[in-house]
Structure 1
Amino acid sequence: MYTVSDYLIDVIKFIGNDHVFGVPGDYNLEFLDHIVDRNDMTWVGNANELNAAYMADGYAKKTGFAALVTTFGVGDLSSDNGLAGSLAENVPVLSIVGAPKTENMDQKLLVHHTFGDGEFEKFTKMHEVMGLKVKDLTAQNTVDDINEIVKYIIKTGKPAYLTLPIDVAKIPVNPSIKESFASFFNRDEEVTEFNNTIAERLVQAINNASHPLVLVGHELKNRQLAHFIEKFVVNNNLLFTDLGLGKCALNESLTQFIGTYSGALTDEPTKQIVDKADLVINFGAKLTDFVTSMFTQSFTEEKIINISNDDFDFFGSHRDLIGDYSFYQVVKAISDKQLKQPLTNTVELNPVSPATPSDKVLTQDFYDKAVINSIKPGQTLVAESGTSFSGLSPFTLPDNVDFSAQPLWASIGYAFPSMIGGQLADNNSRHVLSTGEGSLQLTIQELGTLIKHDLHPIMLVIDNNGYTVERLIHGMKKSYNDVAKLDYTLMPQAFGAKQDQFMIFDVNTESELVDALDKAQSTEDKFVLIQVHMDQEDAPSSLTKMGEMIQNKNN
């Protein structure tokens, strides 16, 4: 019998997902039967719900959609920090929560995984207050409600929340309704006159500018819309930059790329070009604290046209343009526009200096150069918040390399499970993760998931006795910034890896690091873990300056 469970899973599959993340619980077990009984869908199965949410986030950044399944109350709330990060950074994740039988909820029974007060709706209300679109499925209009929530995710690129009671999951559905999926969940939109007018006015503004500059961001990237703007930029030879949030939205090997911008701490010549710009067209970027060096960007509202996921403005206003705005439609419309004449911009970026190794003890600055020099075209570099993000995000990356981080929500521990999610979504792009041991200790349980699915990323663990970014902000030598000392080279075996599944390196010097990276990159059929020892007070120079800025802002 074809049921609501089958329909929901078919929707997830139609949108392009082959994996579902989460943790089993008695309120979702029968729904999970419908996943594992299929031969075209993989139940990933996570160590905990928070990690599952992080993993779904990383998966959705690659595919444009991900599904997460938890159980009512305990599992649901455990995933919320990850779901909040998806909301903050506009990542399209569907949270499916297995709920008690409708009859039990109607009778307000004091069942497990609740507060024992008979009030079941408060969990949905929590998520509504967070800002998520929510829906409690019932026996009435079930298919329409599923369609509504999924269409919302497709249209906005934002996460959403769905409760699925045990009995509702079993309701029969006419399987012929699947024939309408193409019309129900069509990602494409016809450009309306109103949204085309916005695009034309934007082109007019560029034509009138002396030094226009395009800024691309995470909203464009996470909604899989960057190809529209890349076409516009290349055809018109427009200079563009990105931020650490949304880095590599466009291919950074394009000749129009001027480097990654980070406010006052930006390297030259990138900073000079941005400072000189008399028009900045912002496609889906948010000027947040960490990616602008505490709001030190040189351009003001009077120079910016914002085309964002939720709204638009021309130099701080759009009072004369009133209509049904669509981010998708505007960037689609702009892709085919031509300026009066292509610009004649040329940029010479400073190449990454080679990391010539010696037997010196490793420093953070050498580490960053060595990692960047090791990255191959087509790979994905994942950076944990703090040391790794600050040290690696300023560099221009090779052809078709992707970059993933979470600098706005900045939840430490995010990067490792997110990397696994991204690797599952795109196994053709080998993922390289740089993380610190403080962050990794929060989510290392998912090493078992990585091994179970026989994935082959490269993971560098910076071992420097604690939370470097927190030390730089406050408490350099305070014990609350210390973490437990672990031997990470023992971890693959401890989490079930066989000897032929992994390689491990324990490095202290420049030469040892470069040798380990060379061997890691040439060994594509194994998971590689590199434990990297550095002094606890060593940090990228940019992070040291940022720490001072954050401390001043906090005081």
Structure 2
Amino acid sequence: MTANMTIAEYLFQRLSQLGVRSIHGVPGDYNLPLLDYIKPAGLRWIGNANELNGGYAADGYARIKGLGALVTTFGVGELSAINAIAGAYVERSPVVHIVGCPARSAQKSRTNLHHTFNDGDFSRFAAMHSYVTIAQAKLWDVRTAAGDIDQVLRQCLIHSRPVHLQIPVDMADVQISEERLQIDLSAQVSGPMRLADAAIDSILDRLCTVKRPIILIDGEIRDLVVVEGINRIVTSTKWPTWVTCFSKGLVDETLANVHGIYQGAFAPEASQKLFKESDLILCVGSHFSSANTFNFSALPDPKTTVFINETDVKILGETFEDAPAKYVIPLLAKELGQRKFENAHQQYPEIPKDSVIPFSSLPKHQPVTQDKIWRALGNMLRQGDVVLGDVGTAGYGLRDILLPTAARILLPVTWHSIGCQLPASQGVALARRDIVESSGGKGNTRTILMIGDGSFQVTAQELSTIIRQSLDVIVFVINNDGYTIERAIHGLSEEYNDIGRWNYLLAPEFFGASKGSVKTATVKTWGDLENVLGDQEIVDGKGLRMVEIFMARDDCPIGPMSTWLEKEKARTSKYST
């Protein structure tokens, strides 16, 4: 075996091959030798305020770039990040969590080291991560180290889920062969596949006779090949199409037959009627959590649904195993593009679409309200934007925003860890910049974050990373005096849903921005909002920009939150009379 590169060099070269340009994390004594190899590999080190934020940021980076990486130290560092890694697992974000751990000799002798439970057991932290990662490896044997790295990276790509890689501090500098770098780790679908072809034939046979087909796109499958195929199907069939919170932004919402998120019991009556009366629902990438399905009221009827999942196809109860979406969707899109379905929707049904509210219809001196602000904010969006909404009024309100072509949005789906989207916006903005730099310096890098005051307080430190890295992020802080989503669920006026009242627009200077370098603004009325969205320094400026929007503490977006709020008001009124 030719020994001509260190294990650390091999790892970072592999990440570079797979498109990673920036590494998030926090330095610690067990990972310091690893960090020495990041810059020489042509990668950028992004030091985060803490490991949890670093995990969220790596997740955001991965959702845009296709792969993210996080480096922490053993024990205290990796457990600080585990919440973010769990969220990435649930919501299918490919993050490589690299952990610098004690030397092999110390582990073999069961030395009672710091960052441990002082009992000589070095295995428990990896065991914890085995529940929230798709693959794990500890680099222990120089003969297999390169293969171990390749295996976890391949699993990360195939499953689009996090992996966990422990590297003892004495292994970072060990020399190995670079020979395996010639192996392409990109996950490709080989074909043809007999069962997949049979599944496609079965789908086409059923589509030939249907009269009221509809399409429901969910977010479990976000591979570019699949997303392109989905958009071709939606465009060519012109059938009524809905998305979910998880998939919003994957389908072009400007198409006439795309009607936004299907909100189940909270959807317009015409939409609910069509769902119930449809004779076939084509559902791709199902992710049926309670939040993503509006408390399970948006579930398609399995008796009339064709499910195309990551690895199989289910047609009205019959399952075709080993029929991966990466193979099925492109071929199905090709077939559907060549056929006419004359029986389907001879008259297109009248169904509402998401829309933007013009400021001309809003009274300038009236306070902004949750029922209209999200569609009003749609006035500022443009092609290529990435919008993030944190858990709370922002995440629920943004479900109704109309996205331009090629815009993306990241909404709370299942994990719902408050505050996650602030550091995620740092990762997203960084990924956008890395993509633009790799493509010659052209393209929109605007990242827009909508976050409540309570969520902001959880991860506020990551503003410092946005400032230090000169990232283009517009932050809208919804100041509604506490945890409004929790007030709506339970405890409308209880102290436990209160938070400290911060001077949010002073945060940039506190976190290192030079005085006056960050454009800030305050919004209380519709006129204020119109002025802010017309301010070129905010909408077209560079670096961090920050807007504080004041709203009533008991005002919620129309839908689940407003329903909870009314129930909670009714409950609490019994005790106040």
Q: TM-score range by the shorter chain?
A: over 0.9
> How far 1:59 moved relative to its partner?
0.9
Query: Among the aligned pairs, what percent are the same residue?
Result: 29
Higher mean C-alpha deviation, range 495-504 or range 29-38: 495-504
Matched, 1:216 2:217: yes
What is the aligned partner in structure 1 of residue 145 from structure 2? 142
1:439 to 441, 451, 455: 455
Of 540, 543, 562, which aligns to 1:523? 540
Matching residue of 2:155: 152
SS of residue in 2 equivalent to 1:297:
coil
Residues 546, 200 of structure 1: alpha-carbon distance in 2 compared, 3 angstrom cutoff? farther
Displacement of 1:342: 4.6
Task: Assess, with a 3 A threshold, how the Cα gap between structure 1 residues 222 and 464 changes in structure 2: closer, same or farther.
Answer: farther
Distance (whole Å) between structure 2 residues aligned to residue 156 and residue 551 of structure 1: 41
| Farther off after superposition, 128-137 or 472-481 | 128-137
Match of 1:242 in 2: 243
Describe the shift of the 1:525–1:178 C-alpha distance in structure 2 as closer, same or farther (beyond 3 A). same
SS of 1:219's equivalent in the other structure is coil
Q: 1:381 aligns with which of 387, 393, 406?
A: 387
Taking the TM superposition and a 5 Å limit, the aligned residue runs for 1:191-270 are: 191-221=192-222, 225-267=226-268, 269-270=270-271
Tell me: CA distance 1:271–1:248, structure 2 relative to 1, closer, same or farther (3 Å): farther
Distance 2:568 2:102 in 1: 47
User: What number of residue pairs does the alignment pair up?
Assistant: 546
Q: What TM-score does the superposition give when structure 1 sets the normalisation length?
A: 0.93
> Does residue 1:532 correspond to 2:549, yes or no?
yes
Unaligned residue ranges in structure 2 (runs of 5+): 434-443, 570-577
Closer, same or farther: CA 298–123 of 1 in aligned 2, 3 Å: closer
| Contact 1:210–1:278 (8 Å) recurs in 2 | yes
What is the CA-CA distance between 1:44 and the residue it aligns to?
Answer: 0.9
Give the Å deviation of 1:485: 0.3
Task: Check whether the contact 2:357–2:372 (CA below 8 A) recurs between aligned residues.
Answer: no
**Structure 1: any 5+ residue segments left out of the alignment?**
none
What SS is found at the alignment partner of 1:44? strand
**Partner letter of residue 441 of structure 1?**
Q
What corresponds to 2:73 in structure 1? 71
Aligned pairs for 1:485-500 within 5 A: 485-499=501-515
Q: Deviations over 1:117-162 (max 9, x none)?
A: 1111111111223453211221241111111111111111111111
- Per the alignment, residue 326 of structure 1 pairs with 324
Paired residues of 2:85 and 2:133 also in contact (CA < 8 A): no
Q: Does 1:352 pair with 2:356?
A: yes
- One-letter amino acid matched to 1:206: L
Instruction: State the Cα distance separating 1:517 from its structure 2 match.
Output: 2.1
User: Which amino acid is the alignment partner of residue 153 of structure 2?
Assistant: V
1:210-230: per-residue Cα shift (whole Å, max 9, x none)?
Answer: 222221122222676311211
Aligned partner of 1:13 in structure 2 is 16
- Tell me, in whole angstroms, the C-alpha distance in 1 between the residues paired with 2:277 and 2:467: 50
Counterparts of 1:367 and 1:271, CA distance in 2: 25
Is the contact between residue 475 and residue 546 of structure 2 (CA under 8 Å) also seen in structure 1?
A: yes
- Matched to 1:420, the amino acid is Q
Quick one: distance in 2 between partners of 1:253 and 1:276? 25
Per-residue CA shift, 1:189-230, capped at 9, x if unaligned? Answer: 434222222223222222232222221122222676311211
The equivalent of 1:37 in structure 2 is 40
Shift of 1:266: 1.4
Distance 1:551 1:95, change over 3 A: farther
In structure 2, how many angstroms separate the alpha carbons of the residues matched to 1:534 and 1:521? 20
Residues 280-289 or 27-36, more deviating:
280-289
Q: CA deviation at 1:315?
A: 2.4
What residue in structure 2 maps to residue 291 of structure 1? 292
Q: Go from structure 1 to structure 2 and tell me whether the alpha carbon gap of 1:298 and 1:5 turns closer, same or farther (over 3 Å shift).
A: closer
Confirm or deny: 8 A CA contact 1:388 1:436 kept in the other structure: yes
TM-score by length of 2: 0.89
Distance 1:468 1:360, change over 3 A: same
- Return the match for 2:105 from 103, 106, 123: 103
Write the distance in 1 (CA, Å) between the matches of 2:426 and 2:175: 35
Report if the CA contact (8 A) 1:17-1:63 is conserved. Answer: yes
1:372 is matched with which residue? 378
Displacement after TM superposition at 1:6 (Å): 0.8
Q: How does 1:496-515 map to 2 (within 5 A)?
A: 496-499=512-515, 501-515=517-531
1:362 aligns with 2:401: no
Higher mean displacement: 164-173 or 409-418: 164-173
Instruction: State the superposition RMSD in angstroms.
Output: 2.3
Are the equivalent residues in 1 in contact too, given 2:309–2:324 (CA < 8 A)? no
Partner of residue 336, structure 1 = 334
- Whether the aligned pair in 2 keeps the contact of 1:247 and 1:403 (CA below 8 Å) is yes
Partners of 1:212 and 1:277 within 8 A in 2:
yes
CA displacement, residues 497-518 of structure 1 (integer Å, 9 cap, x when unaligned): 1246410012222211221122
Q: Distance in 1 between matches of 2:378 and 2:560?
A: 17
